[in-house]
A and B are shown apart, each in its own frame.
Chain A
Amino acid sequence: DIQMTQSPSSLSASLGDRVTITCQASQVISRFLNWYQQKPGKAPMLLISDASNLETGVPSRFSGSGSGTYFTFTITSLQPEDFATYYCQQFDTLPLTFGGGTKVEIK
């Protein structure tokens, strides 16, 4: 199975801060990497597909980059509604695997 190592596991940030989360795959996955946001008690929501493709309706402050084994997810100016847990996920090879998640909390 492809292991997805996401870091940090949690972070505290202030409104307006720039936040970056990294995700490293245990083997090359090209750009078959997605990012999801999950709020407490809610289902995950796809934000970015194919490493950098912003889904329709997702604010432009969210972005993704990377290929191969190393990927980053950035929020350029943190807003109140962005406090949530974020997961990376590879879809290069079955089983689909997720990173452990990054909980973004208010400082």
Chain B
Amino acid sequence: ETGVTQSPTHLIKTRGQQVTLRCSSQSGHNTVSWYQQALGQGPQFIFQYYREEENGRGNFPPRFSGLQFPNYSSELNVNALELDDSALYLCASSPTAGNTGELFFGEGSRLTVL
């Protein structure tokens, strides 16, 4: 059983650029959530996708957007990067959009914005 995989693992961008982060969910999981973890902080919920539709969004501006594909993989796109977007971006999948609370996390994509 393949776990959650994310790419790239590290990347460096400059202010104003755009970035796309990718996530392959665990086999059999149809729900993908994205979290932002700033240095020294807990993960913050960005949004969740269930069966290719956005299923809830945290307190993030519209320049954070996402997609989920028919195979349940997902992308996180961030436009007009700001210095404060520097963080570890975590993707988590779960077998349902229900409330088991068990999220299966990838190892994250560490974004540095200069």
Q: A and B bound?
A: no
A interface, CB within 8 angstroms of B: none
